[in-house]
Amino acid sequence: MKERAAVSKSAVLAILLVGIVLTAGAGFTMKATDQAEFCGSCHVMYEAVRTHQQSVHAKLDCNDCHTPDPFIPKMTFKTYAGMKDMYKNTLGQVYDVIHASEKTKEVVNDNCTRCHAMTTLNVETVKPFCTDCHRQVPHMNKLPIAQRRVADE
């Protein structure tokens, strides 16, 4: 009896410990993989990270804009997007010019309003996307190419 109790006690402790490590690890990983340093580890993302770093949003994470904010949708969105990007980068083909998907455009737009709601509180915004007016925000895509891209990326 005594022995069994000790085993189950240490087992519970071990599971708890593993649980804490796992949760902390997952939390850390979630945060790390939100950031430009991680996203920019694939060369095809250099342009996006480069222009992000020069922008007013440089101190934010990529995924402050590029994934939904609530935890559950964020998890599923991130998993799907990450899998798709890894597939494109390894077995698939990368497009000549990379564009945001319709889903991403919506997610990004929701995140605009999430942070900037107070600014637009008293006005009606009529264009479909905030970036239809704030056009430099999508990675300064009106800059001459030489300021954004080089070969071999």
Residues near other proteins (CB under 8 A) are 18, 22, 25-26, 28-29, 32-33, 35-38, 40-41, 43-44, 46, 49-50, 53, 89, 92-97, 99, 131-132, 135, 138, 141-153
Residue number with CB closer to other proteins (104 or 121): 104
Q: Minimal distance in Å, beta carbon 131 to other proteins? A: 8
Beta carbon nearer to other proteins, 49 or 121: 49
Q: Closest approach of Cβ 126 to other proteins, in Å?
A: 16
d(CA 36, CA 22): 24
Nearer to other proteins, 2 or 142 (CB): 142
Question: Minimum distance between the CB of residue 117 and other proteins, rounded to whole angstroms?
Answer: 23
Q: Residue for token digits 């479909």?
A: 128
CB of 125 to other proteins, least distance (A): 16
Q: How many CB atoms lie within 10 A of CB 49?
A: 20
Q: How far is the CB of 15 from other proteins (least distance, A)?
A: 8
Query: Residue 100 is encoded by which pair of tokens?
Result: 């945001």
Q: Are 47 and 149 in contact (CB under 8 A)?
A: yes
Minimum CB distance to other proteins smaller for 52 or for 111: 52
Nearer to other proteins, 110 or 153 (CB): 153
In contact, 52 and 58? CB cutoff 8 Å? yes
Q: Is 31 helix (H, G, I), strand (E, B) or coil?
A: helix
Q: Note whether 42 and 36 are within 8 A (CB).
A: no
> What would the two tokens of residue 19 be?
């649980």
- For residue 131, the Cα-to-chain-centroid distance in whole angstroms is 18
